[in-house]
């Protein structure tokens, strides 16, 4: 199962209608676009999928649609993280019959637990979750960093299989890469740093750009994984302008501007997020045409 999560995973966006309901026809179109780019797996209801603004019932409906649409052709990871440990444990019981390659679980936000608290949180989840856990460290959103030593301690648990690192701290990533136990995967959570993390021994990336340019980005990741670092770096540098545009008005607003530009879905995001500007859509059209 771990081998399924190497390479390029795509943090799936959630297309929406103007009334903020899920635009399922466009979601199907987006999935076809991503799969056509030779990506390796799909991550449903991560941050890019606007997970904070959907009810639990809506999340499960989105998950079921994705599984039905893919028909087993790509592994699926589901996002289930938060700052209420026992609520997550209760919700996880609903996932036992779903065919999932793993559960991506972001570190607790807002209440800022100590490193000991983070360890206890994830150990409790790992003891009870029905699928393997991918840790997710994204301090820019959680206001709490998972230190390398904490990751390495959690990596000892048999139901914790990987870390999605989005701290931006390459020294921290290197410590994990150097000292992790056999079989524990290091995945980039930042499109622009995936090349560097793979070069230090990481196994891949959970990507935003993979929604928009799946073939081009997956090709770069595969070159890096094959050890063809010079060619991969050339491709990575060419994609630099895309990384910047994806951050221009925040994620996923900037991404959805790009998806509107290529006719996949409209740019609607659900409050409290705000739709990207028409200027950014036109910028994407100019770049992607």
Cβ atoms of 171 and 136 within 8 Å: the answer is no
Residues with Cβ within 8 Å of 40's Cβ and at least 6 positions away in sequence, in order, are 4, 5, 6, 7, 8, 9, 74, 75, 204, 218
Active site residue 270: no
Write down the catalytic residue from 6, 59, 164, 283. 164
**Residue by residue, what is the 3-state secondary structure of 97-131?**
CCCCCEEEEECCCCCCCCHHHHHHHHHHHHHHCCC
Write down the catalytic residue from 41, 122, 136, 217. 136
Tokens found for residue 225: 């994984």
Cα separation of 254 and 275, whole Å?
Answer: 8
Q: Where are the beta strands (DSSP E) in the chain?
A: 7-11, 41-44, 76-79, 102-106, 133-137, 160-165, 185-188, 204-207
According to DSSP, residue 180 is labeled P
In the three-class reduction of DSSP (H, G, I as helix; E, B as strand; rest coil), residue 61 is classed as helix
Active site residue 164: yes
Cβ-based neighbour number of residue 68 at 10 Å: 9
What pairs with residue 11 in β-bridges? 43
Cα separation of 289 and 287, whole Å?
Answer: 6
Catalytic residues: 136, 164
């Amino acid at each position: 199962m771990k081998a399924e999560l190497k390479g390029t995973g795509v943090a799936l966006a959630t297309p929406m209608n103007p009334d903020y309901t899920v635009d399922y026809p466009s979601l199907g179109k987006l999935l076809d676009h991503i799969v056509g780019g030779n990506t390796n797996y799909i991550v449903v209801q991560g941050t890019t999928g606007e997970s904070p603004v959907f009810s639990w019932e809506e999340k499960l409906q989105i998950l079921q649609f994705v599984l039905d649409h893919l028909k087993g052709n790509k592994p699926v990871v589901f996002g289930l993280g938060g700052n209420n440990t026992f609520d997550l444990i209760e919700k996880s019981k609903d996932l036992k019959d779903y065919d999932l390659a793993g559960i991506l679980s972001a570190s607790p936000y807002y209440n800022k637990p100590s490193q000991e608290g983070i360890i206890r949180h994830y150990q409790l989840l790992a003891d009870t979750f029905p699928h393997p856990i991918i840790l997710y460290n994204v301090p820019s959103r959680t206001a709490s960093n998972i230190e390398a030593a904490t990751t390495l301690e959690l990596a000892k648990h048999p139901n914790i299989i990987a870390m999605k690192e989005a701290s931006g701290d390459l020294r921290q990533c290197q410590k994990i890469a150097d000292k992790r136990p056999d079989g524990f995967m290091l995945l980039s959570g930042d499109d622009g740093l995936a090349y560097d993390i793979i070069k230090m021994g990481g196994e891949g990336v959970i990507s935003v750009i993979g929604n928009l340019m799946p073939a081009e980005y997956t090709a770069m990741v595969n070159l890096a994984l094959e050890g063809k670092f010079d060619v991969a770096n050339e491709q990575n540098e060419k994609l630099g302008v895309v990384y910047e545009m994806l951050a221009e008005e925040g994620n996923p607003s900037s991404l959805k501007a790009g998806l509107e530009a290529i006719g996949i879905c409209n740019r609607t995001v659900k409050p409290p997020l705000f739709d990207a500007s028409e200027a950014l859509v036109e910028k994407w059209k100019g770049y992607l045409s």
